[in-house]
Amino acid sequence: MKRFLPCALLAAFFILPACGSIADDPSDTAAETIRAEENTADAVPTAPFPTTTMPYDLPPAPVPSQDTVAFGIGFQINTHGYVEGEGAQREALLYSRQALAVFYESDPDSNKHLYQPSLTKYDDAFFRDKALLLLVKQEPSDSNTLEVHDVILESGRMEARVARVAQEAGTMDMARWVIAVELNKNALPEGDIPFSAVYY
C-alpha cells in the first residue's frame, strides 16, 4: 500500500497535464474558428439599401389648403412657330367667344392658322357652363412635349402645372405649343382670378 500511494501520486502528476493539453488541442480551436467564420459569412449585412434619386425635379404636391380643379384638354397643337418677346409664353383665362377671338387676333404667331380650326367648338353654348384656359409655350426643340398635370386653386389664385417631356436626342427646330384647358365655371371663384402657369 505504501508503494501504491507514491505511484498514484506520480501518475496523477503526469496524467493531469496531459488532460489539459488534450482540452487545448489545436484541432478543437481550429474547428471553432471555422465555425465562427461560417457564421460571419452567413450574417445578413445591416447597412441600409442605397437610395436612388429621380433625374428630374417634381412639382410640389398639393397641400391641404389647395383645391385641385378638374379639367379636360380640348386640343394641344404645335404650330412650329417662333415668336420673340412676351409672345413666346402666354396664358389667358377666357369666359366668352368674343374674348377668344381677341386672343387669336392678338397672337403674333405667323402659323396661328394651324390651331384656328380647333377654336370653332368654343361657341356661346360652350361658354355658358365652361371657361377656357389657353396656354402658349415656346420650346427650343420640336421633340419637347408638354403635359398639363394639375390645375390648382389656392387663396383665390389659379395655377396650371405643366410638365416638360424632353427626349434624349432632341431636334434643333422650334416648337410653339398651344394648349386649350377646359374648366367648369362652377368650380372657379367668381370675378377676376389671378392665374399663371408653372413649367417644370
Residue 54 belongs to a domain: no
The verdict on 30 and 119 lying in the same domain is no
Give the three cell numbers for residue 100: 377668344
Contacts of 60 (CB under 8 A, 6+ apart): none
CA gap 199, 144 in Å, rounded? 12
**Nearest by Cα to 154 from 199, 103, 116, 198:** 198
In terms of residues, how long is the chain?
A: 200
The verdict on 191 and 119 lying in the same domain is yes
Q: How many domains does the chain have?
A: 2
Query: Can you give the pTM of this predicted structure?
Result: 0.66
Residue 172 belongs to a domain: yes
Give the three cell numbers for residue 105: 387676333
> pLDDT grade, residue 191 (50/70/90)?
confident
Per-residue pLDDT tens for 138-177?
998 888 899 999 999 998 899 999 999 887 665 667 899 9
Average pLDDT of the segment spanning 71-81: 96
The verdict on 118 and 27 lying in the same domain is no
Looking at residue 144, its pLDDT comes to: 87
Domain coverage including residue 85: 67-199
